[in-house]
């Protein structure tokens, strides 16, 4: 029963992201020339994450299994064949989408960042992909460190909210900060890297709970980001 709920939640995630894409396309068409580039970036992120998540759903539930990557790493091995190709595509497309979103935010909102987090996210995606080609603890821990660096972005939005007078921009900044944090947490706990860290540290992994909670967290995050970005850039 829990497996069917888990699979349903991940496909609901794909549907929610697809709906977000439609919403952002509509917003893009309705916005003026100054706001259009920002919403185009959100459209591109939504397309990438929708496709990536659909690929991973198919890989995990029809080709491979939930723990196949983790079990391969523990055995000193890697997943192969179509399983590997689909996982590679998931990572590659998902991190393109995430990097586009970060670039979009640093170009239009957090303009003083000099695209630092965009570079970090692109590097994180590259290092993570390397782990599926040549797994080693150096790139594994580097990917983990870079992932947590990305979490500076929510702090920047909270700082923006602190410096902004009460109003839509302040509310939107808080909502976006929460949305990005939840998105990062949902993605993180769903990764085989998370299970491998628990394995290395000998800590308890609440797998059954995580398998149900992760998609719920990501769905919540996507809804918050959708609302937050539209609130930050209200229609004129």
Question: ∠ at Cα 49 (79, 232), nearest 5°?
Answer: 150
| Average of per-residue pLDDT across 12-22 | 95
pLDDT at 113 over 90: no
Residue 72 has pLDDT above 90, yes or no: yes
How far, CA to CA in Å, does 166 sit from each of 37, 111, 235? Answer: 26, 21, 18
pLDDT mean over 64-88: 93
Tell me the fold of 2-232: Rhopdopsin 7-helix transmembrane proteins (1.20.1070)
Q: What is the DSSP letter of 165?
A: P
Q: How much is the pLDDT for 151? A: 82
Mean pLDDT for 202-217 is 87
Q: Does residue 171 carry a pLDDT above 80?
A: yes
Tens digit of each residue's pLDDT (9 = 90 or more) over 184-196: 999 999 999 899 9
How would residue 2 be classed by pLDDT, with cut points 50, 70 and 90?
low
Distance CA 4, CA 196 (A): 25
Structure tokens at 189: 């706990």
Angle, alpha carbons 161-162-164 (nearest 5°) = 60
Q: Burial of 119 by CB count in 10 Å (0-12 exposed, 13-18 middle, 19+ buried)? A: middle
Q: Pull the structure tokens for residue 163.
A: 């410096």
**Average pLDDT over the chain, rounded to an integer:** 91
Tens of pLDDT, residue by residue over 124-150, are: 889 988 988 888 888 889 988 888 888
For range 164-179, the mean pLDDT: 92
Predicted confidence (pLDDT) at residue 213 exceeds the cutoff of 60:
yes
Span 27-66, pLDDT tens digits: 999 998 889 999 999 999 999 999 999 999 999 999 999 9
pLDDT at res. 11: 96
Q: What's the rounded mean pLDDT across residues 84-110?
A: 94
Residue 1: pLDDT above 90? no
What are the residue boundaries of the structural domains of the chain, listed by start? 2-232
Rg (CA), the chain: 18
How far apart (Å, rounded) are the C-alpha atoms in residues 22 and 9? 20
Q: Which of 41, 42, 39, 45 is nearest to 27 (CA)?
A: 39
- DSSP secondary structure string, 32-63? -TTTHHHHHHHHHHHHHHHHHHHHHHHIIIII
CB 170 within 8 A of CB 164: yes
| pLDDT given at position 217 | 97
């Amino acid at each position: 029963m829990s497996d069917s709920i888990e699979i349903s939640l991940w496909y609901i995630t794909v549907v929610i992201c697809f709906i977000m894409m439609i919403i952002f396309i509509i917003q893009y068409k309705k916005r003026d020339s100054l706001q259009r580039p920002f919403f185009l970036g959100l459209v591109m992120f939504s397309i990438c994450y929708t496709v990536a998540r659909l690929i991973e759903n198919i890989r995990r539930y029809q080709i491979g299994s939930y723990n196949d990557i983790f079990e391969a790493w523990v055995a000193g091995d890697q997943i192969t064949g179509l399983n590997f190709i689909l996982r590679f595509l998931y990572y590659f497309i998902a991190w393109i989408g995430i990097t586009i979103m970060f670039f979009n935010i640093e170009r239009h909102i957090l303009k003083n960042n000099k695209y630092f987090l965009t570079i970090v996210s692109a590097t994180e995606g590259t290092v993570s992909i390397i782990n599926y080609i040549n797994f080693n603890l150096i790139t594994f821990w580097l990917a983990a460190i870079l992932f947590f660096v990305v979490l500076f972005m929510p702090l920047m939005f909270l700082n923006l909210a602190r410096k902004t007078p009460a109003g839509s921009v302040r509310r939107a900044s808080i909502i976006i900060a929460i949305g990005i944090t939840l998105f990062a947490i949902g993605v993180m706990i769903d990764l085989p890297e998370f299970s491998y860290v628990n394995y290395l540290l000998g800590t308890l992994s609440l797998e059954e709970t995580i398998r149900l909670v992760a998609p719920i967290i990501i769905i919540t995050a996507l809804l918050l980001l959708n609302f937050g970005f539209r609130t930050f850039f209200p229609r004129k």
